[in-house]
Amino acid sequence: MPENQPASAGAVIAPGNIPYPWIRKELELDREYRRGDRGAKVKIIQEWLCLHDFKLVIDSQFGSATEHALRQYQKANGMVESGAANQTTFAALTRPMLRALTPAANPGGSYASMITGYAARHLKELPREVGGQNLGPWVRLYMHGNEGREWAWCAGFVCFILRQASDTLNFPMPFKTTFSCDTLAAQAKEKGLFVAGRNLSAGNPPAAAMPPGSIFLNRRTSTDWDHTGLVTRFGNDVFETIEGNTNDDGDREGYEVCRRFRAYDSKDFIRIS
């Protein structure tokens, strides 16, 4: 069994056992929700319906469209077609995030391998924005409950994956969680973990010596970095990544977690050993 996988295909963490309080409260359902209800939990139900491609307006009001979308979701998944969000339906809706948050069954290996394992697991669950720019449950997971246009979440994704790996191995984070690429770079320099792209190009260290699980930073100027992600493989001319808040074009303000191939131009790195 791969070390970064749940114990079985059906085994997921119980919401009450999630160690991250800002998302735990989202994944716990306090009661059944039905037509006529409104509020934050209704919004979450609508967001997850959209993430499962049962599209509707996210307006925090449980009306006829939400009821219809729930019935269609329940029908597609072999559930009683009640049109209400009970515990069974809500658990199924949120299962992708529960799978991503389930601790590794066999937490052996290195910190770097745990990072890449968790990154791959999150990627498999198709994390993406819903409802607008930098909005939705996955953004709130990576950004400690924050969301909105000003909350670019690439660094939040990186730091959350590192924290999940650290929590699993009872291993200290190499630096403090931050949502800023510039702060990531500053902390890495302070800890002696920063690897300038020009040094890597000169073979000091050689790219092959960089461990997977390290972090790349897209350099805009010598003191400004505007995007970041996790490196899963270092090659001679390109490196492979899993990164958040991007898209298939590699944009820095995208909408999803993607696997990318990137050149070394204008890149710096943070070594994770």
pLDDT in tens, 185-195: 999 999 999 99
Selection from 133, 136, 131 nearest residue 149 by Cα? 133
Name the residue range of residue 38's domain: 15-98
If one compares 26 and 250, the residue with the highest pLDDT of the two is 26
Among the candidates 64, 98, 132, a domain finishes at 98
Q: How many domains does the chain have?
A: 2
**Based on the domain organization, do 46 and 115 belong to the same domain?**
no
Q: CA distances (Å), 251 to each of 43, 46, 188, 254, in order?
A: 28, 27, 24, 6
**What are 27-61's pLDDT values in tens digits?**
999 999 999 999 999 999 999 999 999 999 999 99
Give the number of residues written for the chain. Answer: 273
- pLDDT for residue 107 is more than 80: no
Predicted confidence at residue 101, as pLDDT, reads 98
Are 210 and 141 contacting, i.e. CB atoms less than 8 angstroms apart?
no
230-254 burial by CB neighbour count: b if 16+ within 10 A, else e?
Answer: bbbebeeeebebbbbbbeeebebeb
Give the CATH number, domain containing residue 34: 1.10.101.10
**Based on the domain organization, do 168 and 237 belong to the same domain?**
yes
**What are 253-269's pLDDT values in tens digits?**
899 999 999 999 999 99
Question: Would residue 1 count as lying in a domain?
Answer: no
Model-wide pTM > 0.85? yes
User: Amino acid identity of 95?
Assistant: R
**Based on the domain organization, do 86 and 113 belong to the same domain?**
no
In this prediction, residue 250 has a pLDDT band, given cuts at 50, 70 and 90, of low
Predicted confidence at residue 2, as pLDDT, reads 41
Selection from 270, 144, 139 nearest residue 212 by Cα? 270
- pLDDT for residue 93 is more than 50: yes
**What are 186-239's pLDDT values in tens digits?**
999 999 999 999 999 889 999 989 999 999 999 999 999 999 999 999 999 999
Are 160 and 139 contacting, i.e. CB atoms less than 8 angstroms apart?
no
In this prediction, residue 252 has a pLDDT band, given cuts at 50, 70 and 90, of confident
**Based on the domain organization, do 44 and 134 belong to the same domain?**
no
Instruction: List the structure tokens of 11.
Output: 């085994």
Predicted confidence at residue 8, as pLDDT, reads 42
SS3 content of the chain, % helix, strand, coil (to 5): 40, 15, 45
**Based on the domain organization, do 27 and 141 belong to the same domain?**
no
**Based on the domain organization, do 135 and 55 belong to the same domain?**
no
Are 69 and 56 contacting, i.e. CB atoms less than 8 angstroms apart?
yes
**Based on the domain organization, do 89 and 68 belong to the same domain?**
yes
Bridge-based pairing of strands 238-246 and 256-263 is antiparallel
Predicted confidence at residue 106, as pLDDT, reads 76
Predicted confidence at residue 201, as pLDDT, reads 86
Question: Would residue 3 count as lying in a domain?
Answer: no
**Which residues are registered as beta bridge partners of 194?**
270
**Based on the domain organization, do 73 and 168 belong to the same domain?**
no
CA–CA separation, 273 and 7 (whole Å): 27
**Based on the domain organization, do 71 and 124 belong to the same domain?**
no
**Based on the domain organization, do 232 and 136 belong to the same domain?**
yes
Q: CA distances (Å), 118 to each of 2, 86, 176, 214, in order?
A: 11, 29, 19, 13
Question: Would residue 6 count as lying in a domain?
Answer: no
Please report, rounded to a whole number, the percentage of residues in the chain having pLDDT higher than 70. Answer: 95
Among the candidates 98, 131, 164, a domain finishes at 98
Read off the pLDDT of each residue in 159-180 and give the average, rounded to a whole number: 97
Predicted confidence at residue 5, as pLDDT, reads 45
The beta strands (E) that lie in 26-67 are given as: none
In this prediction, residue 10 has a pLDDT band, given cuts at 50, 70 and 90, of low
Question: Would residue 257 count as lying in a domain?
Answer: yes
Question: Would residue 2 count as lying in a domain?
Answer: no
